Structure 1
């Protein structure tokens, strides 16, 4: 119960925070859910439908997040084709794919990001292959640009849309007054939304909070907003909880 009396904020999208929240509660924490990203269908679903209708023509598909996997599976009544390899980036996406019964998986053993995925041998042998990249709106172009440079034909399709939450600065300030011992932030975009939503009224309070993040890029996004207390954790829910436990111990 090493997190007893601690009020921990979990900022993952609704539907993706259950495992992390349960681990925190098992450690004694009071969990406050503040989703900093809302997941919606793409504004134009036709490109996704067209890509899924011709899945058999691809040599490899890549899903960059659990949201991408959920969106695709919802549009595939027959499930994922067993013969098509699916590449995923992080442990959350890997769990989502395995839970959906997808076993033909390509994923990095360490370095759970685009760089880590691109470093594995399978992603270096893509010349002449047709690849489907499933992601949300925006995002980095490192994956498609690198794979194209390696000789692949890459089709980027928006499977879902990320939007900031409907939250006022007053609501955020009220929750900050109720208490925040640490905030778990798992994407750079979420970090940016947090400070934009808080506005000038909440900025100083947000800068003084303790943050726990699983990647250096997220830490850099928070530092750019003026946050000074950042714990860099290994990737994965258990690792983030352990990092908090070690800090508060």
Structure 2
């Protein structure tokens, strides 16, 4: 893998999810700029979350939609994770975070890293009568909860965190644009929406002209809807994203 020396790359993930990716980019000599397009906050109803955590041992399965969901749960977990309760997650980042928290039994997609990919896993094919808890942000797509219920799960949806708009303003965005940008890594459709709708019309054309790297077609489609034209699909996971950037910037003409 050749280096990204001198490349100024925006990382738009929430701060708590960005550090590992930034470290990998910097190891390839990139100038990684943390520009979080989402902020993560506690849920409005902490009592409901704490009550759910007291009942973990009664579950047959816990499902986490993101590393943020894992972080939110383990920040308030009153004891050790019950070892008999398997965990299902969507992507490589969540697999790594679950391992870091000491969870041994992790179910994850092996090909398509999204809700549809997780629902295709054989261990989730039949959940009739099983007690399943889904930890997610406020709102979110309905595909995963509906799919779990369709497979017979007794599903309980728990808001583990809230997603908030970015904390920086149009002036700060303009400063980052003036400093230069060789590529933008976007990891969620919601982040793409915020980038093009939160900062007024002054920067739209410049934003549309930037080069975007994204690991999922749904996110690429969201960027394209806002007028972005330079879209590069990446491999999944932090290492896959960095490898894809290196491959793109070191192509032979």
- TM-score category by the smaller chain? over 0.9
**Aligned twin of 1:188:** 189
Name 2:71's counterpart in structure 1: 70
Runs of 4+ displaced beyond 6 Å: none
Deviations, residues 125-156 of structure 1 (Å, cap 9, x unaligned): 10111110000011101111111122111111
Q: Answer whether contact 2:54 2:78 (CA < 8 A) is retained.
A: no
Structure 1 residue aligned with 2:126: 125
TM-score (norm. length: structure 1) = 0.97
- The answer to whether structure 1 residue 23 and structure 2 residue 24 are counterparts is yes
Instruction: Measure the CA separation in 2 of the matches of 1:98 and 1:65.
Output: 13
Deviates more, 1:1-10 or 1:97-106: 1-10
Distance 2:79 2:151 in 1: 32
Any idea what SS the aligned residue of 1:201 has?
coil
Check conservation: 1:173, 1:198, Cα contact below 8 A: no
1:77 shift after superposition: 3.1
Equivalent residue number for residue 204 of structure 2: 203
**Structure 2 match to 1:109:** 110
Question: Which residue pairs with 2:12 in the alignment?
Answer: 11
Unpaired runs of 5+ in structure 1?
none
- Tell me how far apart the structure 2 counterparts of residues 54 and 77 of structure 1 sit (CA, whole Å): 11
Match of 2:152 in 1: 151
Query: TM-score by structure 2 length?
Result: 0.96
Unaligned runs of 5+ in 2: none
The whole-number CA distance in structure 2 between the counterparts of 1:82 and 1:12 is 30
- Where 1:246 maps in the other structure, the secondary structure is helix
What is the distance in 2 between the residues matched to 1:2 and 1:57?
49
